[in-house]
A and B are shown apart, each in its own frame.
Chain A
Amino acid sequence: MAVRDEIRLLRHGRDWRGRSTVPRSADPWIQSEEEREFPTGWARSRVAVVVRSVLRRGLLRPVTWSQTRPVVEGVEYLENLRGPAVFVANHSSHLDAPLIVSSLPRRFADRLAVGAAADYFFDARVRAAATVLFFNAFPVERHGSRRLRSLAVDLLDDGWSLLLFPEGTRSEDGWMSAFKPGTAQLCVSKGVPVVPVALRGAYAAMPRGRNWPVPGRPRISVRYGRPLHPLDGEGFRELRTRMMRAVVRLSAEEELGWYGALRAEADESLELPRRSAERPGPAEWRRVWESTRPLDPRPQRRVWTF
């Protein structure tokens, strides 16, 4: 029989993907496929690393910088940092990862893996492939009964730095919420330093629901803090608190300046985010109002006069 006839026979009863519907009488005997994790190892091969580096410097960074005006501070704190580190940041926008990835020094950016929500980014293959290629993403389980062992531990062992968002999801109103314990547990168990990063203005530029920044090149500030090394005998709760304080302080630097923020932290006047259930305080509109306050006044339009 010709190959064409064979193929036609094979296609009968199968869909465009080559999958067959299960015959009715075989339905009780379906083997539930174990959820296979989207393979991400390919993105850490030499070729992929080079490709990603080129894409980051040639495409991701220019586009991000053209749509927003990021101001990056604190990169000098990373000078003496050796070996893998875990970067933690507050999360309010899809811009967070591109901004951090594009603002890190090359030696970190080329050896960075970003934790991305498994149910959001790894749902459809095309989106998963794109995220993995551009950001070297690996899936992080947020919900679901099956606790897939996250790749984070293996990546740290292999010398990859990680970018994680311990809040677990993008903020609804631009304010930071409490960090989930996973990141702190990871750093304590592996003894890896934590670099706090605070982003301000990302929510205003591209909040939940938007897929592109607002026009007008809004200003966003990206602030790196000193690496936090896990102390001897420090439990993950203490490290988590330290991480949150550091990010909150960096965030407050926008209004208070560096020294002001340090003083405010020492005076305990900086409010740490608490778990959402127990959060009283200003109404939602005011929180969003504050988050969307532009970071610096519009520059005065020059008026030419003769």
Chain B
Amino acid sequence: MILALEYQRSPARYLAARGVTSTALGSRLTGMVAGNVAPLRLVNHPAPDPPGTGWTRVAPRLSGICGSDLSLLAGQSSPYLSPVTSMPFVPGHEVVGETLDELPGLPRGSRVVLDPVLACEPRGAKQCRWCGTGRASRCDHVTIGRVSAGLQTGFCSDTGGGWSRQFVAHHSQLHGVPDTMSDERAVLVEPLACAVHTVRRVDMPSGASVVVVGAGTVGMLTLLALRELSPAVPIHVVAKHWHQQERALALGATAVHPPGRATRALRRSTLARMHVPERGSEFLLGGVDIAFECTGGASGLDTALRLVRAGGTVVMSGMPSGHVDLTPVWYRELSLVGAYASDAGGPDGERPDFARAIELAATAPLEDWVEPAYPLRRWREAIGHAVDAGRLGSIKIAFDPNRE
């Protein structure tokens, strides 16, 4: 029997949460909604059993709270994803933990980070065309196989998830962590892998101008990945909070703009023309070449679409929510590119995102990104803190399931 935070199926609560957070006033109460209306409960339930050989039980040391988790709890995530999840599940897919069973190449007690994607190999399913070509994040078989439906550990009822004292993982999902890397850095490896993958989704010609919309964890890590992996280009960051602006500049952003002034500032730097529609926000005729949308909110995507030049690219790296006017995509002939999770980088598998992320995490300036971890018992506080992280000067909130 282990302590775990369990998300249960409750259409009523989901709709109630969505209803509240969709209003203007209610969106300010997202922390309260995510903690109290969402069907998340702290329970004692039996630990999940490994579904077969090649699986090990893992005891998490630190589990991060991701924006997608918060979106789920606030009812803002899309029902599209319901078939690729199986309830009740334990959330938590950004995990650094210790293995509890022996695996070839990973002795018992090793410290590992989790690549949460549950693709053909963990599922023991016949290899789909994507897993065969090293793009496991696009797996078609996420609903079949040895474990129940679930696109990732943390959305699957059979595997458990990071927000508990124990879950199970397949050896293909686990990557060893060097002893020199602290738990706080290791827990950032998974989101960093997603950022690396995002950056690799587009070609960056030198001289391109880039804007990163949003300066939370995703935005900051995308900025970091851009600076490490692409040629030096001017990168503008749209950040709402003061401490985010400071950090973005420290990570190498060319300029940082608060959301209200971003369009004007980019207009000047790209010598574009700005127009204000009768309803809706202003947009540029002209603008940057590539925009990375890292907030996961409707207004962020809206901003990104309105800042990009004709023929430009908008990369969606945050899980989207809300409704967005897609007229700019049609009129300006934009490319809308989605970036989800991470993979091994193509048929030859020679650019695995996860391994690159581990390398980067060892040297990147990631001190003080993770707040002191919360115990599972104080989960409502932790969720409330994570929802308001920007305003409260934090970047990443994590659980330490072993802390009382």
Contact = CB atoms under 8 A, between A and B. Distances in A.
Question: CB atoms of A and B under 8 A apart anywhere in the complex?
Answer: yes
Given A15-B31, A124-B36, A32 B44 contact: no
B31 A24 contact: no
B381 A142 contact: no
A275 to B, nearest CB: 15
B372 interface: yes
Given A32-B404, A124-B36, A119 B29 contact: no
Contacts of A19: 381
B372 A24 contact: yes
B371 interface: yes
A257 B32 CA distance: 54
Contacts of B384: 15, 21
Interface in A5-49: 15-17, 19, 21, 24, 27-28, 32
A298 interface: no
Given A15-B31, A123-B41, A142-B44, A21 B392 contact: yes
B32 A119 contact: no
B85 to A, nearest CB: 18
Given A32-B404, A143-B1, A21 B44 contact: no
Given A21-B392, A24-B371, A32-B404, A15 B44 contact: no
Chain A contact residues, majority secondary structure:
loop
Contacts of B100: none
Given A24-B371, A27-B372, A16 B44 contact: no
B42 interface: yes
Given A119-B44, A143-B1, A16 B385 contact: no
Interface residues of A, number: 14
Nearest to B41: A123
Contacts of B372: 24, 27-28
Interface in B36-50: 36, 41-44
Interface residues of B, number: 18
A143 B44 contact: yes
Contacts of B371: 24, 27
Given A24-B371, A143-B1, A123 B392 contact: no
A225 B285 CA distance: 84
Interface string B360-404: 000000000001100000000100110010001100000000001
Counting chain B CB atoms within 10 Å of each CB, which of A15, A28, A142 scores highest? A15
Nearest to A35: B377
Counting chain B CB atoms within 10 Å of each CB, which of A16, A19, A123, A143 scores highest? A16
Contacts of A32: 404
A143 B31 CA distance: 28
Nearest to A125: B36
Contacts of B392: 21
A199 B44 CA distance: 26
Contacts of A143: 1, 44
A17 B381 CA distance: 11
Nearest to B392: A21
B251 to A, nearest CB: 20
Contacts of A17: 32
Please provide the 9 A-B residue pairs with the shortest distance between their CB atoms, ordered closest to farther.
A143-B44, A27-B372, A16-B32, A21-B385, A15-B384, A21-B392, A16-B29, A15-B31, A123-B41
30 contacts: A15-B31, A15-B32, A15-B384, A15-B388, A16-B29, A16-B31, A16-B32, A17-B32, A19-B381, A21-B381, A21-B384, A21-B385, A21-B388, A21-B392, A24-B371, A24-B372, A24-B393, A27-B371, A27-B372, A28-B372, A32-B404, A119-B42, A119-B43, A119-B44, A123-B41, A123-B42, A124-B36, A142-B44, A143-B1, A143-B44
Interface of B: 1, 29, 31-32, 36, 41-44, 371-372, 381, 384-385, 388, 392-393, 404
Given A15-B31, A15-B32, A21-B388, 15 more contacts: A15-B388, A16-B31, A17-B32, A19-B381, A21-B381, A21-B385, A24-B393, A27-B371, A27-B372, A32-B404, A119-B42, A119-B43, A119-B44, A124-B36, A142-B44
